[in-house]
Amino acid sequence: MASAPSRDPGALVLGIETSCDETAAAVVADGHEILSNVVSSQVADHAPFGGVVPELASRRHLEAIVWVVQQALEQAGKDLNEITGIAVTQGPGLIGALLVGLGLAKALAWARALAIVGINHLEAHLAALRWAEPRAVYPMVALLVSGGHTCLYYIPAQGQMELVGQSVDDAAGEAFDKVAKLFGLGYPGGVRISRLGAGGNPQAYDFPRPMISSGDYNFSFAGLKSALVRFREAHKGQPYRLEDVCASFEQAVVDVLVAKTMAAAQHFGAKAVGAAGGVAANARLRAELGRAAKARGLSLSLAPVELCTDNAAMVAALGSDKLRAGERLGLEAEAVSRVDSSGGLG
Ligand code: KG4
Ligand code: ZN
């Protein structure tokens, strides 16, 4: 008897993402066509605390995950029987949160005998560059800026990446979130600060640009946050325009991110620069990267704004590539909270 033709595991991938405070599932065809992309945000649950509460995140993921996966299949018009492979975020992230997605993904893969692959959340953010306009060109230097990470990668060709710099303390998104909390602007801070900052003068205050001339590709944002703490104390009882503070703070972060990205691009002889991750949704950063790239004759690839913050489409798309390359996750595999020194899951 002839055996059934083996299916391409990357043809129709279900992606699952639960690394932080978004419960997300998506169905992606051929690593590119997004058939559905469902994100259930917990932002409102964490807002009263001014940041993500890990235990609460795990509980909310557990409540939402089955419904979110069902929605992703329904919106894609696909049945679980048609899915050819599963991609799930394995790390880095909050362990209890990751375990919820990983547990469901493993159970589905086991029950349906589906190919499954574990995904590095940081690599998934960069994978969103496949949807950039204009198309990504290589070699590229890519900036990954999120709530948990600020990293620079040298990407000689799609699918290869070398970590060349990262924050030695707070991530850029973390700085946005902490400064927003300091000024009572709520969580998540990035969106609130950039909304207020849009109406402010970015030159009003000369906040520090930490490590801008350090000669390497690392970042530091803890000192900038402390400068804002001192500013607030020094201006107690005095009037100031919060719009100007937000714009000036945002400008300081953007100046450092752009300067380091351009320095790395020059050093590595890149033809293009790219940006992905939650903070890459920031309009000022996108505009300034655009200006700086143009001035240097570099191509610019930005992840689409709606795919900058956490989602499972980026996980499914990267999963498709990896499943096709033969990568698999063992059903005994664990969630990984932190990346190793090379940026991998170890
Ligand atoms: O990638 P992401 O959704 O989650 C992590 O992997 O961390 O990034 C979330 C971060 C938060 O710190 C949030 O404040 C920031 O991205 N963010 C922004 C903007 N939108 C989200 N930061 C600056 N400007 C924005 N428009
Ligand atoms: Zn993320």
pLDDT digits (tens, 9 = 90+) for 128-138: 999 999 889 99
Q: Please, which pLDDT band fits residue 1 given cuts at 50, 70 and 90?
A: very low
The whole-angstrom separation of Cα 294 and Cα 254 is 16
20 pocket-lining for ligand 1 (C-beta < 6 Å): yes
* Superfamily name and number for 12-126+308-324: ATPase, nucleotide binding domain (3.30.420.40)
For residue 145, is pLDDT > 90? yes
**Nearest CA among 140, 139, 143 for reference residue 165:** 143
For residue 59, is pLDDT > 50? yes
Cα-to-centroid distance, 269 and ligand 2 (Å):
28
Q: What is the mean pLDDT of the chain?
A: 95
Cα-to-centroid distance, 303 and ligand 1 (Å):
13
What three-state secondary structure class fits 100?
A: helix
pLDDT of residue 47: 86
For residue 318, is pLDDT > 50? yes
The whole-angstrom separation of Cα 205 and Cα 284 is 17
Q: Please, which pLDDT band fits residue 342 given cuts at 50, 70 and 90?
A: confident
Claim: this prediction has a pTM higher than 0.85: yes
Which one is predicted more confidently, 6 or 34?
Answer: 34
Region(s) of the chain under CATH 3.30.420.40 = 12-126+308-324, 133-302
CATH of 133-302, one of 3.30.420.40, 1.10.260.40, 3.30.460.90, 3.90.280.10: 3.30.420.40
For residue 340, is pLDDT > 90? no
